Amino acid sequence: MMRAACSRTIDMAIPFPHLLHHDRSQPAAPPPTCAARSQDELKRVAAHRAVELVQSGMVLGLGTGSTAAHALDRIGDLLRCGALRDIVGIPTSEWAAARAAAAGIPLSDLNAHPVVDLSIDGADEVDPALNLVKGRGGSLLREKMVEAASRRFVVIVDESKLVPRLGASGLAVPVEVIPFGWALTLRRLRSLFEGMPGFNLKLRTASTDAKANSFDENGFEPGPFVTDNKNYIVDLFFEDGIHGDLNLISDEILRITGVVEHGMFLGLASSVIVARKDAVAMMEKLNGV
């Protein structure tokens, strides 16, 4: 049983060997049927594939969310059985810190380790150029700080997160703002996208999860959602995604006084591991993109 628990390889055959790093000396088993794996199990397989990139002695960026949780648990398992050692984790949220500590991963911060060897995290959207939307869970600022400090950033998602352009899912593109004057900051964000068909925005409240772009119709007004950094989040919604130069739009958002950071992660991902219905595939960043 211990040998199985300490295995560094995953237990699902990958039908795209040219896309994935794996041990070519091991024969591939027949791929399972679609019905054999739930979406959560595919997320686990993708997370375990990413953890195969972890080496002893690394400083790791530890992601936030349901997919990243599988990676944290796997790293903890490998530390306990001795397959990994001397790992230092830099959590991207208070949630990630608690989950990693429970898994037995030693923790530190960017002050002590300003260069991160490898970050593993999920994403809310991935476009064809491997640009991301992140932060629907509210951890975008710390995620971006850690992942921007990483030599390599590997993203793990299921195929529902693949979009033709950022914002095209119709779900939130979050912007973290300071609480002081948040209504003024929201109005300036609205003005920035004025005239864009299907655009909407709202202050995230403690009762919402960034998955609905309509306002509460029953008159109840819960308090604002508060991030780990004690800030608020304004969620932006785009009916047909964000059109235009993403870097220019990023700069325009960040120039608004009161904006701390936004959830577009442009050019940061090194590769994306995608859990599909019947397999796991890796998308690599092209040189010069």
Annotated catalytic residues are 143
Q: Where are the alpha helices (DSSP H) in the chain?
A: 2-5, 39-51, 66-80, 94-103, 140-148, 182-192, 246-254
Half-sphere CA count of 4, side-chain side, radius 13 A: 2
**DSSP at 288:** T
Question: Can you tell me the distance from the alpha carbon of 276 to that of 278, in angstroms, rounded to the nearest whole number?
Answer: 6
Cα torsion angle, 183, 188, 190, 194, sign: positive
Contact at 8 Å (CB) between 157 and 243? no
Of 237, 257, 62, 254, residue with least CA distance to 145 = 62
What 3-state DSSP class applies to 21? coil
